[in-house]
Amino acid sequence: MRKIAAVSAVAVALLANGLVGTGLGSAAAVPADAMKPMSLYAPSALVISVEPGTGDEGASVQRAVTLSCAPTPSGTHPAPAAACAELKRAQGDFTALSASGAPRICTKVWNPVTVRAEGIWNGKRVSHVQTYGNSCMKAAGSEAVFNF
């Protein structure tokens, strides 16, 4: 008998607070957007940045872009399709990136530039930091990924 009274008291409290009849917990209250199936593609979303120096001085970021590769290339990167294709060829290994075509002739002037890539590639967390001797060497380091 006490259990029934306690349940009734809870029901009265819920009614008084307007919580019963709102549809909370029912299938009818779930928005249609929430019922859409999730993507079949593993997520690939990165933030890629460029900063002056060797990356250990706490320098501020000069430029940063976003790059999302699945299901379609997008983001603020100026060439998302080319950057995604280049990463796909390298199987997401940033150290394997290299520019193709005519070799680039760069000076040996030491003016370091550091690039960073943070995020998710094919569902796996990635964090890459690489320092180039100067911006010409950075441009020679990849076709599209770090060229923005």
Contact 131, 111 (CB under 8 A): no
- Separation of alpha carbons 12 and 124, rounded Å: 49
Per the CB < 8 A criterion, the answer to whether 135 and 143 are in contact is no
Q: Distance between CA atoms of 22 and 44, rounded to whole angstroms?
A: 38
Q: What's the start-to-end Cα distance of the chain, in Å?
A: 73
Torsion angle (degrees, nearest 10) of CA 73, 134, 98, 68:
-10
Indicate the pTM of the whole model. Answer: 0.66
Query: Tens of pLDDT along 18-72?
Result: 444 444 444 455 555 555 545 566 688 999 999 998 877 677 888 999 999 988 8
What gap in Å lies between CA 87 and CA 45, rounded to an integer?
12
Q: What is the pLDDT of residues 125-135, one digit of tens each?
A: 999 999 999 99
Q: Flag the least confident range among 34-38, 89-93, 136-140.
A: 34-38
